[in-house]
Amino acid sequence: MRIVIWNIDFKCNLLCKGCNAFQGNELFPRDKIDDFIDEMKYNKVKVVSVTGGEPTLHPDLPKIMKTLKEKGFFTHIATNGTNKYMLEKISPYLDAATISLDSHIPELHNEYRGRKIFDIVVDTMKFLKPRVKVLTSNMLVTNFNYDKINEYAEFVNKEIGVPVSMCFPDNTAYYYERVPVEKEQIKAAFKYASENYKQHKFGNTKSFYEEAVLWLENKEVSRCRAGQEVFYADYRGNVYPCFYKTDVKLNETRKWKIYDNNCNACFIQCFREPSIKKPIEQAKLIAGIYLYNRRSDSRAR
């Protein structure tokens, strides 16, 4: 099933230590929205994950989401959760969302994100949960949270009623020297998730956590299908295999080229999780999250 990660803007209202989007001020142009959505349809894309920068800062986000939904896409947004107003506006057109929360300890999340937003983000999650089919929290695994997955999962599962998704940190594309994280720390986090998969509710497949550990041990993992099943589109409407292969433009013509992918350079969640060919495990995960979000015994409701 073809997925596009669509980066609709390069601007942000936060100052995360591992990202530089707040330095930019670029928006996907309004007059190209319809054409680009038609282009995705023509190329048989089924799922569009809207991201950024912070996508809720794009003034045309409601038009983007409405058009995607009207054209029959499964829609997802990745957001920092600070713009409840915009999320409410687009919720009729939204199937799924992940909201970034890097720690259950308010001071740690706030310090990493550069603003006092913890309470706002938790409130947004509780607000959005009944309005979308699938909602997860998204934690960037890094040096201040890798050893606290247990407590973090307890918090988001029990207090908010959402599963935990885990971002594999990339240390090349972002300004990473501000949050140095050791390979062994990343491994400890993903190992904990795979070994305690039944103890908490997670938002990734067990296979993703297992393969993350294998990848860190230089062992064999599923081949990356970025540029084949998963694509990256930027705020200019260029389509590439992934965030890093921006020298390989796939939409020189309306019909996209397919990338001859033999790359194993990263294990980033957006591209590697969907590359694992386990459709039944993935379908069960989505159905499980749907039911989990709706559990009547969740204290968060």
Ligand X SMILES: C[S@@+](CC[C@H](N)C(=O)[O-])C[C@H]1O[C@@H](n2cnc3c(N)ncnc32)[C@H](O)[C@@H]1O
Contact residues for ligand SF4, defined by CB under 6 A = 12, 14, 16, 19, 21-22, 52-54, 80, 224, 226, 241-242, 244-245, 261, 263-266, 268, 271
Whats the size of the chain, residue-wise?
301
Q: Which residue number, 7 or 205, has a Cβ lying nearer to ligand X?
A: 7
Please, what is the minimum distance in Å from the beta carbon of residue 296 to ligand X? Answer: 29
Q: Which residue number, 172 or 296, has a Cβ lying nearer to ligand SF4?
A: 172
Cβ-in-10-Å burial (0-12, 13-18, 19+) of 94 comes to buried
Q: Pick out residues in 125-144 that bind ligand X (CB under 6 A).
A: 138, 140
Please, what is the minimum distance in Å from the beta carbon of residue 80 to ligand X? Answer: 4
Residue labelled with tokens 């089919």: 133
Please report, as a single letter, which amino acid is at residue 266: C
What is Dmax (Cα atoms) for the chain?
Answer: 51
Asked if 57 and 85 touch (Cβ cutoff 8 Å), the reply is no
Q: Is 51 an interacting residue with respect to ligand X (CB under 6 A)?
A: yes
Please, what is the minimum distance in Å from the beta carbon of residue 61 to ligand X? Answer: 12
Residues 6+ apart with CB under 8 A from 280: none
SS3 of 94-157: the string is CCEEEEECCCCCHHHHHHHHCCCCHHHHHHHHHHHHHHCCEEEEEEECCCCCCCCHHHHHHHHH
Please, what is the minimum distance in Å from the beta carbon of residue 18 to ligand X? Answer: 4
Asked if 81 and 126 touch (Cβ cutoff 8 Å), the reply is no
Residue 138 binding result from ligand SF4, ligand X, none, given CB thresholds of 5 to 8 Å by partner type: ligand X
How far, in Å, are 86, 119, 197, 262 from residue 110 at the CA level? 21, 10, 27, 38
Residue 170 binding result from ligand SF4, ligand X, none, given CB thresholds of 5 to 8 Å by partner type: ligand X
Please, what is the minimum distance in Å from the beta carbon of residue 243 to ligand SF4? Answer: 7
Asked if 266 and 232 touch (Cβ cutoff 8 Å), the reply is no
Q: Which residue number, 132 or 224, has a Cβ lying nearer to ligand SF4?
A: 224
Residue labelled with tokens 């509710």: 201
Q: Pick out residues in 52-71 that bind ligand X (CB under 6 A).
A: 52, 54
Q: Is 80 an interacting residue with respect to ligand X (CB under 6 A)?
A: yes
Residue 90 binding result from ligand X, ligand SF4, none, given CB thresholds of 5 to 8 Å by partner type: none
Binding residue (CB under 6 A) for ligand X from 79, 103, 157, 275: 79
Asked if 164 and 202 touch (Cβ cutoff 8 Å), the reply is yes
Please, what is the minimum distance in Å from the beta carbon of residue 148 to ligand SF4? Answer: 20
Residue 251 binding result from ligand SF4, ligand X, none, given CB thresholds of 5 to 8 Å by partner type: none
Residue 51 binding result from ligand SF4, ligand X, none, given CB thresholds of 5 to 8 Å by partner type: ligand X
Asked if 96 and 75 touch (Cβ cutoff 8 Å), the reply is yes
Q: Is 166 an interacting residue with respect to ligand X (CB under 6 A)?
A: no
Binding residue (CB under 6 A) for ligand X from 161, 169, 203, 241: 169
Annotate 20-32 with DSSP letters as a single string: -GGG--EE--GGG
Binding site for ligand X (CB under 6 A): 12, 16, 18-19, 51-52, 54, 78-80, 100, 138, 140, 167, 169-170, 174, 176
